[in-house]
Chains A and B, each alone.
Chain A
Amino acid sequence: MGLGRTIKLRNEFAIGFKFSEKSSTTLFQRHANLFETSSIHLRKRIFAPIRTSDMNTLENAALSSFGQKHLLGIAELSPQEIQFLLDRANEAVSVSRQREKKKSVLRGRTQINLFFEASTRTQSSFELAGKRLGADVMNMSVSSSSVKKGETLIDTAMTLNAMQPDLLVVRHQSAGAVELLANKVGCSVINAGDGAHEHPTQALLDALTIQRSKNSIAGLTVAICGDILHSRVARSNIILLNALGARVKVIAPSTLLPAGIDRLGVEVYRDMNEGLKDCDVVMMLRLQRERMTGALIPSIREYFHFYGLDAKRLECAKPDALVMHPGPMNRGVEIASEIADGPQSVIETQVEMGVAVRMAVIEILMENRGSNG
């Protein structure tokens, strides 16, 4: 039921876009008997984030199960599905706080972490999550050199698929790569970050962190600050926070903002002090070192001067505003140490929630796999 509702919502949004379907639609009508289904509505789903205004009309009925085989992006989830994942993740938090952390629900299951892009935090978080559930976890780091040897992503996928894993956790430098791989394998796939597209578990762990501290996400004002252009974390968070009814601001210099961002359901600010006003949550993004040296911004000191989060600037936000960062931090570039380690910082909590979210997602997808045979 939740799913059907989602499709409808997204179609309503999709009307805002223009499509070149006119010709095929006409033909479709002319030869209606020849063609059984139209793919038009499926295509329209793709680019449709959920509008905040739709939240008012949503039933609050809780889901009893999660209908999807993979977790590829927040954009594919309904608000109910997001809440379902968050509720289960909230329950998983206590597991990691017990002395005996290991469950055995996934005994005998195999999880492969396939990372085409180096990552310490995300990979270890997924590894720990799988192990705490009792799964056998294997880490595979595919360096770009072996890809250059000629093996394509599809080849890698087929090779791994033949090993009969139950779950693949995949990070790749190209947008859409994880979905491409998911289409070629028989097991469930979790997107651990694809290019500048999505990083769904990061958005979920951010949401869980906020929800546990502020009780609810609806009605909060959240600022996402920094390199929006290259950030999958920003995209997933924008979609998720909108879906759960938050007001989302992005704050960045114009060279770090992608085209059309103002139409993704956010308010755009170039001035940090102005943008932080009334914010309940301040999310800082990491700025890659190679982007600081003149290409997109002139220098580190100029960036910190205008966009770094220090104590004075944080005063512009609400007094009880949370400070978040997906890590790894560049202290003194986007965030001052005193703030990163200060009382408003929940950066360590984010890491803890990361394990809980990933445990919940893995367990839910494996439950589905079990019941689907």
Chain B
Amino acid sequence: MADKSVLIKGAHIVDPSQDIDAVSDILIKNDRVEAIGPDLKAEKSAEIIDATGKHLFPGLVDARVYVGEPGGEHRETIESASKAAAAGGVTSLIMMPETDPVIDDVALVDFVRRAARDHAVVRIYPAAAVTKSMDGKELTEFGLLKQAGAVMLTEGKRTISGNLALRRALTYARDFGLVISLETIDESLSSNGVMNEGLIATHMGLPGIPKEAEIIPLERDLRLAALTQGKYHAAKISTAASAKAVANYKAAGHPVTCGISINHLTLNENDIGRYRTYLRLQPPLRDEDDRQAMINALVDGTIDIIVSSHDPHDVDEKRHPFAEAADGAIGLETLFTAALRLHHNGEVPLSRLIDAMATRAAQIFDLPAGTLKPGSKADFFIADLEMPWVLREEDIISRSKNTPFEGERFSGRVLETWVGGNKVYELQE
């Protein structure tokens, strides 16, 4: 088969893995990056794309995506999630094991890998449960799961309540170099709470969740990570105190990292407005002081990565009174464009955003992604950083429409997305 070459000229390329932030050409040969540099030449048969005035980034790596398949295909399938990802510039994603059945077995990891190979247009990596059926008791087969293709261990939206169980999990995972990524929520302290505790919740008559419900289990996890030296990743922090706790353990040299959902960087509790259930999230949207603290922690590197926390729910689970609705919002399609708000406001440098959504995320979970170094997979996307647009429900590709950004105005949009040297998405106007 003849070699296929594509030369993309004149794009502003940002690749944190090589400290590139300049107008440059990029040459793709077959499924890999051949070269990056000014005035590249290609053979006559090469396809030439003029991307002058546009930006080109390594494909995003979204480390926290909930998908409905298996068991909830009406909400999202691996195929529909991958198409939504492509539209958002996401070329690699880690799929949560919180499915029905829970992905806690080699055969189920295999199923995801096969479904992804046959139907997905981006790279889908399965995460496996830490404990069987995610009941917090017996460990899953970490080693075999890793061999089968699981790239991370997590308990989905649950916290491991037993201290001993978590200690053993972190200790055993260390032998395989697997990261355990957990969301932290103290069930008893959060009680029946549905939004951030405080004035707004009181005014709305909704039971609140104190910040301590996140911080107390997080601090427990960090201590056990320090004890075991197992790799621990706090999946979604949302409070200033959480960031401070993580920073302390990082400074002491312990193997801890943390992430945040794009929602908690760009929205706060006021945005819930008239009981909008699409903004009911876990952890809940916090106050503006916390949001600002999160931005600072992202800039200084305390927060390593940004995730979409894509969590599709159909209307049956969302069109309820606020206190009775499900938690979670979709986000694959808006991850990049929402993050651009932080760039446009001058709050976070563009290269740090790309690092947090691609390069750093690939490093933490050891994925072949997040870079455009010659020889690496040609996963990238081209975007117009200024293009104004409004998110409308009918344009959403994901099978579920529970976006917190419906009707929102954005500046900047993904124009095309490439995976392994093939264009998998192009914006239709």
Which one, B202, B288, B342, B388, contacts A264 given CB within 8 A? B202
B35 at the interface (CB under 8 A from A): no
Give B376-429 interface residues, CB cut-off 8 Å to A.
388, 390, 407-411
Contact with A along B184-202 (1 / 0, CB 8 A): 0000000000000111111
Any A CB within 8 A of the CB of B47: no
Asked whether A176 and B321 contact (CB < 8 A) given A17-B270, A46-B274, A258-B201, the answer is: yes
Q: C-beta contact mask, B333-352 vs A, less than 8 Å → 1, else 0?
A: 00000000110110000000
Q: Is the interface of B mostly helix, strand, loop or mixed?
A: mixed
Instruction: Bin the interface of chain B by size.
Output: 35 or more
- Contacts A180-B321, A258-B208, A259-B208; is A26 near B202 (CB within 8 Å)? no
Inter-chain CA distance A43–B270, complex, in Å, is 8
Assembled-state Cα–Cα distance A39/B208 (Å): 26
Within 8 A of A (CB), among B206-228: 206-208, 210
The reply to whether B202 and A174 contact each other, CB–CB distance below 8 Å, is no
CB contacts under 8 Å to B, within A189-243, are 194-198, 232, 235
B287 within 8 A of A: yes
In the complex, what's the smallest C-beta–C-beta distance from B353 to chain A, in angstroms? 13
Indicate whether B266 reaches chain A with its CB closer than 8 angstroms: yes
Q: Is the beta-carbon distance between A20 and B203 smaller than 8 angstroms?
A: no
Give the chain B neighbours of A258 by CB distance below 8 A: 201-202, 208
The docked-state distance in angstroms from the alpha carbon of A18 to that of B288 is 6
Most chain B CB within a 10 A radius of its CB, from A18, A35, A49? A18
Q: Which residues of A contact B408 (CB under 8 A)?
A: 24
Give Cα A154–Cα B320 distance, bound, in whole angstroms. Answer: 7
Would you give the shortest CB distance from B249 to chain A, in whole angstroms? 28
Question: Which residues between 288 and 316 of chain B lie within 8 Å of chain A, taking CB atoms?
Answer: 288-289, 291, 316
Q: Choose from A23, A153, A264 the contact partner of B266 (Cβ within 8 Å).
A: A23
Contact partners of B210 in chain A: CB under 8 A: 259
- B197 to A259, Cβ gap below 8 A? yes
Expressed in whole angstroms, the Cα–Cα distance for A17 and B289 within the complex equals 11
Q: Are B321 and A20 in contact (CB under 8 A)?
A: no
Q: Are A259 and B201 in contact (CB under 8 A)?
A: yes
Distance in angstroms from A275 CB to nearest chain B CB is 19
A235 vs B204: C-alpha distance when bound (angstroms): 9
Interface presence of B162 (CB below 8 A): no
Give the contacts of B237-289 with A (CB-CB under 8 A): 266-268, 270-271, 273-275, 287-289
Across the interface, name the chain A residue whose C-beta is closest to B285. A20
A23 B342 Cβ-Cβ under 8 A: yes
Given contacts A22-B345, A259-B197, contact A176 B274 (CB under 8 A): yes
B100 within 8 A of A: no
Q: Does the CB pair B388–A34 fall under 8 Å? A: yes
Say yes or no: B322 contacts A27, CB within 8 Å: no
B345 partner residues in chain A, CB cutoff 8 A: 22-23, 26
Residues from 7 to 53 in A contacting B, C-beta threshold 8 Å = 17-20, 22-24, 26-28, 30-31, 34-35, 39, 43, 46-47, 49
Interface check A136, CB cutoff 8 A: no
B205 adjacent to A20 (CB under 8 Å): no
B199→A263 contact, CB < 8 A: yes
Q: Pick from A19, A23, A31, A172: contact of B321, CB below 8 A.
A: A172
Q: In the bound complex, how far is the Cα of B409 from the Cα of A30, in angstroms? A: 11
Say yes or no for A299: interface residue by CB 8 A criterion. Answer: no
Other-chain contact of B199, A22, A43, A235, A264 (Cβ < 8 Å): A264
CB neighbors of B among A146-172 (8 A): 152-154, 172
Q: Specify the chain A residue showing the minimal Cβ separation from B289.
A: A18
Contacts of B204 in A (CB 8 A): 47, 175-176, 197
Tell me, in angstroms, the Cα distance from A26 to B386 when the chains sit together. 13
The listed residue (B197, B266, B344) touching A20 by CB distance below 8 A is B266
One of B287, B289, B320 near A153 (C-beta < 8 A): B320
A261 contacts partner chain B, Cβ-Cβ < 8 Å: yes
Chain A residue contacts of B273, Cβ below 8 A: 43, 46
Chain B hits for A75, CB < 8 A:
203
Contact B275 A176 (CB under 8 A): yes
Decide if B319 is an interface residue (CB 8 Å cutoff). Answer: yes
Q: Does A27 contact B388, Cβ atoms closer than 8 Å? A: yes
**8 Å CB interface, B108-140 against A:** none
- CB within 8 Å for A174 and B199 given contacts A27-B411, A31-B409, A235-B205: no
Known contacts A20-B266, A30-B411, A259-B199, A179 near B274 by CB under 8 Å: yes
B50 at the binding interface (Cβ < 8 Å): no
Q: How far is the CA of A257 from the CA of B308 in the complex (A)?
A: 36
Does B367 sit within 8 A of A, measured CB to CB?
Answer: no
Q: Please report which residues of chain A, range 258-274, place their CB below 8 angstroms from some CB of chain B when the two chains form the complex.
A: 258-261, 263-264
Evaluate whether A174 and B271 lie within 8 angstroms (CB atoms) in the complex, with A20-B288, A260-B202 already known.
no
Asked if B73 lies at the interface with its beta carbon under 8 angstroms from chain A, I say no
Contacts of B202 in A (CB 8 A): 258-261, 264
Q: Beta-carbon contacts of A338-373 to B below 8 Å, as 1s and 0s? A: 000000000000000000000000000000000000
> In whole angstroms, how far apart are the Cα atoms of A217 and B76 in the complex?
56
Residue picked from B203, B390, B408, most chain A C-beta under 10 Å: B203
Taking a contact as CB atoms under 8 Å apart, the answer to whether B206 and A196 are in contact is yes
Sorted nearest first, the 8 A-B pairs with minimum C-beta distance are: A197-B205, A176-B275, A260-B199, A174-B321, A18-B288, A177-B321, A196-B205, A23-B341
Can you list 24 contacts pairing A with B, beta carbon distance less than 8 Å? Answer: A18-B288, A19-B288, A20-B270, A20-B288, A22-B345, A26-B344, A27-B344, A27-B388, A34-B388, A43-B273, A47-B270, A174-B321, A174-B322, A175-B206, A176-B275, A177-B324, A179-B274, A179-B275, A195-B205, A197-B205, A197-B206, A232-B205, A259-B197, A259-B198
Beyond A18-B268, A20-B266, A175-B321: 5 further Cβ-contacts under 8 Å? A23-B266, A47-B270, A175-B323, A194-B205, A198-B205
